[in-house]
Amino acid sequence: MAARVIWKGSVSFGLVHVPVALYSAEQRSETHLSMLDRRDLSPVGYKRVNKTTGAEVPWEDVVKGYEYDKGQYVVLEDEDLERANVKATQTVEIAGFTDLADIPFMYFDKPYYLEPINKGEKVYALLRESLKRRKKAGIAKVVLRSRQYLAALVAQGDMLVLELLRYEHELRDPVQFSVPGHDLEALGIRPKELEMAERLVDDMSTAWDPSQYRDEYRDDLLALIEEKAGAGEVRARSGVEEVPRGAEVIDLMSLLKRSVQEKGKKGAGGKSGKASAKKKAKKKTSSRSGGKRASR
């Protein structure tokens, strides 16, 4: 099945923009089992029900809402979610670059492929090769399906991959778990035992080849299904069948130079700029606080 475009926008670093299309890098091969009524094998579905009246609600009448106060909602349409911050919903803005090796694997959550569009091949390749040669990841934020994610932009072969990251608060603190410390002698581990364990690890080491690993449970389950079908254990559903329902890049070198120069200026006078921005934000907040309730 062909990959479906999830999002179109651009990757921004400095003054340079890379027009891209975003695709899920996952292709799950789960064995989907349908829920059926044992009596006639009719599919068992889920209903969207109005909790006040008990009546079923059709999809076209389902909207998103934020509970502003108890029992009071602000209804948001899809256009509102995008209008809240058009730039955030259309741009992967790189805040900075970090060593890829410094990001613990636990933070990586879900990968997406980025494909250049609108004649963005040159800047796409430029960013990819820069990341690859410097062994860096671009740290950015991106809005997908009305939620903002932290992400790492990394080079993988010929692809740029946007890897969604978990926020720090989404990971449990390992301090709450009881695990053995580093004092091997206190644990009764002898040097010979460690040496043998390391040798075993070396003997079992092999080059990474994902093609040699298979979902054995899925394979066995499908074999069992084939076996039951071959033995005639196939039941037809009784009753009536359901009716089916139906950005152009200009003067790249100039943009790169200006980006580097602007970064240098921020480094020299960054504190005063940040201070004035904070004052403006504080002033804006104080003017609002008298008239509006803070969103919870």
> Inter-axis angle of helices 121-134 and 252-289, to 10 degrees?
80
The maximal CA–CA distance of the chain, rounded, in angstroms, is 79
CATH code of the domain containing 99: 2.40.290.10
Q: How many CB atoms lie within 10 A of CB 163?
A: 21
CA dihedral 54→55→57→63, nearest 10 degrees, is: -50
- Asked, for residue 114, whether it belongs to a domain, the answer is yes
* Structural domain containing residue 67: 5-27+62-172
- Asked, for residue 70, whether it belongs to a domain, the answer is yes
Q: Which residues pair with 66 in a beta bridge?
A: 74
- Asked, for residue 242, whether it belongs to a domain, the answer is no
For 233, 234, 237, 239, the CA distances from 41, given in Å and listed in that order, are 13, 11, 5, 9
292: left (phi over 0), alpha (psi -120 to 50) or beta: beta
254 CA to centre of own chain:
33
pLDDT digits (tens, 9 = 90+) for 136-187: 999 998 888 778 899 999 999 999 999 999 999 999 988 888 888 899 999 9
The list of the chain residues with pLDDT below 50 reads 240, 243-249, 271-296
Instruction: Please give the tally of structural domains in the chain.
Output: 1
- Asked, for residue 166, whether it belongs to a domain, the answer is yes
Q: Which residues pair with 12 in a beta bridge?
A: 17, 93
- Asked, for residue 77, whether it belongs to a domain, the answer is yes
pLDDT digits (tens, 9 = 90+) for 195-225: 998 998 899 899 988 888 787 777 777 787 7
The token pair that represents 133 in the structure block: 């040669």
Q: How many residues does the chain have?
A: 296
